Each structure stands twice: as C-alpha cells, then as structure tokens.
Amino acid sequence: MPKFMDVHSGFVGVTADELNAAHDADLKIEGEEGVHFASAWLDPVAGKVFCLSTGPNREAVMRIHERAGHPTTEVYEIASEV
Amino acid sequence: MPKFMDVHSGFVGVTADELNAAHDADLKIEGEEGVHFASAWLDPVAGKVFCLSTGPNREAVMRIHERAGHPTTEVYEIASEV
C-alpha cells in the first residue's frame, strides 16, 4: 500500500487537543477510502502539520482530509524511507 | 529532547541508495551536536525529503544537515504528535 506524507499550513496556535480532534476526525472516516493516518506532527509556531498515511492514492488521502475539515493539496507519495 | 521535522526540496530523481547515503552522512556526525535523525521519507517525483529528528535545537539540526551536504532552513520544532 502506498505511503504518503502530507503538509498543512496555517495551523498557528493549534493545541495538542485540537490536533487530536483533527486526527480523530480523519480516523472516523478514513476507512471509507482505504486510507489510514498513522501519525501527525504539529509545529504550532510555524503553523505546520505533517501527516503520515497509507492509502490507495493521493486523491483518497486528500478526500479524507477535506471531508474531515482540513483540506490540503500538498500530499507527497513516499517511494523510499530510511 | 525536542523533536524536529525538516523538509528538503529539489531532490527530484533521487534513488533509495542515494537517500540511504545521505542519511548515513548525517548519522556519521550527528552525535557531535547531540542530534539523532530517526527517519527520512523521500518523494523523488516532487523532489521532497522529510526528516524526523531529535536534538537540542533547530540550529543543531541545520548544522548537521549542512555539514553532511544537504542544507535546509526548513526545520520545524514539533510541539505535539499523535
């Protein structure tokens, strides 16, 4: 299953609770697209969130994030990791 | 120990072997700054690499990447993860 890293911008001042709530919103519907969001990392000063996921394709990842209320078009397919 | 996500751009067409070699170059000297690069993810189509690390501060992460031959100023300090 392909793996993806996606990036959200503009999340300045977001709290850990808000990150958890956003992640839970993804988890609640991700199965409908065969996606799974494994991890998310937040920098609330720069306003960046990085999400690591698996899924069938970039579009499926984008659809879940959009339906969960935090759309992004910055989704990268991971070919290699170390 | 603070955790960081950093982003490299312009790595279009980089191979898995080249990613491994770049990561090894970091590992070889990271101890001198108290940094550890835990994981790196490559999208060779978009030319992006994401590195997850721990270290004392952003500057230490930047110095190791620069000395290893792949500088970036895009280093985000992670306040929360899920």
Please state the pTM of the whole predicted model. Answer: 0.97
B4 contacts B73 by C-beta, under 8 angstroms:
no
CA angle B1, B3, B8 (to 5 degrees): 145
Q: What is the pLDDT of residue B35?
A: 98
Asked if A79's CB is within 8 angstroms of B42's CB, the reply is yes
In this predicted model, what pLDDT tens digit does every residue of B7-29 receive, in sequence order? 999 999 999 999 999 999 999 99
Q: What is the mean pLDDT of each run of 10 residues along chain B (82 residues)?
A: 97 98 98 98 98 98 98 98 98
Strand residues in B9-54 grouped as ranges (E): 36-43, 48-54
User: What is the average per-residue pLDDT within A66-71?
Assistant: 98
Query: From CA B45, how far away is CA A69, in angstroms rounded?
Result: 27
Its ipTM equals 0.95
Query: From CA B56, how far away is CA B73, in angstroms rounded?
Result: 16
Scan residues 50-79 of A and list those with Cβ closer than 8 Å to B.
50, 52, 76-79
Query: From CA B57, how far away is CA A65, in angstroms rounded?
Result: 31
Q: Which residue of B has its CA nearest to A53?
A: B41
Query: From CA B39, how far away is CA B9, in angstroms rounded?
Result: 17
Q: Which of B19, B46, B79 sits opposite A76 (nearest CB)?
A: B46
In this predicted model, what pLDDT tens digit does every residue of A8-66 receive, in sequence order? 999 999 999 999 999 999 999 999 999 999 999 999 999 999 999 999 999 999 999 99
